[in-house]
Amino acid sequence: MLKQLDEIQEQALAALEGVPDLSELDAWRIRYLGKKSALNQILRDVGRLPREERPAVGRRGNEVKLALEAAYQARKQTLEQGELAALLEKDRIDVTLPGRPVPLGRIHITTKTLRQIYAIFAQMGFQVYTARDVELDLYNFELLNMPPGHPARDMWDTFYTTREGVLLRTHTSPGQIRAMRDYCPEPIRVILPGKCYRYEQVTARSEFMFYQVEGLAVGKRITMTDLKGVMAEFVRQMFGADRQMRFRASYFPFTEPSVEVDVDCIICQGAGCRVCKHTGWLEIAGAGMVHPLVLQNGGYDPTIYSGFAFGMGPERIAMLKYGIDDIRYFYSNDLRFLEQF
């Protein structure tokens, strides 16, 4: 039995020298130190030996086991260090190489158009006024000449909240009242950009969430001619001098008279397409002279002051400017579309 233990030790150490990697080392451990190994079988059978042989065999068996375990740990450490050195050599970083450029994102087409709108109206003396997205019914409708039950409220499909009288604004027009109350009695010239929300079906020309830019000018002796001049200058700078613009009579409760501002459709060149509803014209803004009651609600005396207001959609303007035929592209997160701008 002692001779057999010596042979096991000699054979195991010889085999250990030729183990090339950690996976083979684990196989060696199972073969020579595992539960089913010859060494463990001898140690389990020590109790069956004659009484006088047990001490010598047991002691020698434990010596062999400790020797093999120590050899195993030493070989494992050597192989781990070798693998780590190979990995470091393979993935070595040359700190003298130049850094890799970090790709930059692009400005979203809506943001780009908004900035162009800001710049154009800034040249005409308009400053940006920021209003809130979550509004009160009082500002969104009542103070804009639409009391409860007014049929004009049906023009806006409204998202109401669980709190009575609180809603997501359907247009940027409630900002008119807030701006007038902040500046009254001084003359004002502001634009109010921001998101609007309507419970609408998503189509090629309409979304349930979209941007608007409201414009408001209040002062003495402001007329419809001033409104037309501002809109004509905006169309010239945004779309070019060759673009055609027209005013078309319309109705808004908070302006009187009211108009729609149209530009000939750049996408179809006036021939008619699904974006312009085959009319050859595309609406870019609703506008008009501020209703006397709205001026009064804002704190201005309508017998002394007058003003005009307009509201336009940057997405619609971008569609015209860049020949985009579907508003759904703007927020579909398709990089093939967004990377063009």
Contacts of residue 124, defined as CB under 8 A and 6 or more positions apart, other chains included, come to 189, 230, 233
Which pLDDT value is given to residue 21? 86
pLDDT of residue 154: 80
User: pLDDT class for 19, splitting at 50, 70, 90?
Assistant: confident
Convert the pLDDT of each residue in 220-249 to its tens digit: 999 999 999 999 999 999 998 888 899 999
Q: Please compute the mean of the pLDDT values over residues 60-80 and round it to a whole number.
A: 85
Three-class SS state of 199:
coil
Angstrom CA distances, 24 to 17, 81, 118, 197, stand at 11, 16, 70, 66
Q: Which parts of the chain fold into alpha helices (H)?
A: 2-17, 22-33, 38-44, 54-90, 109-123, 137-140, 174-183, 224-239, 292-297, 314-322, 335-338
Residue 214 predicted with pLDDT over 90: yes
> Does residue 206 carry a pLDDT above 70?
no
Tell me the two tokens of residue 329: 């592209």
| Non-local CB neighbours of 83 within 8 Å, separated by 6+ positions | 21, 22
Reply yes or no on whether the pLDDT at 219 is more than 90. yes
Structure tokens at 126: 């308009």
CB 177 within 8 Å of CB 294: yes
Q: Tell me the pLDDT tens digit for each residue of 157-176.
A: 888 899 999 999 999 999 99
Instruction: Work out whether the CA dihedral 295, 296, 297, 300 comes out positive or negative.
Output: positive
Please give the Cα distance from 78 to 74 (Å, whole number): 6
Mean pLDDT for the stretch of residues 286-301: 96
What average pLDDT does range 181-191 have in this prediction?
A: 95
**Which band of pLDDT confidence, cut at 50, 70 and 90, is reported for residue 156?**
confident
Question: Strands 188-197 and 127-128, how do they pair?
Answer: parallel
pLDDT of residue 1: 66
Calculated CA dihedral for residues 179, 181, 186, 187, nearest 10 degrees: 40
pLDDT of 260 above 80:
yes
Q: What is the pLDDT of residue 123?
A: 96
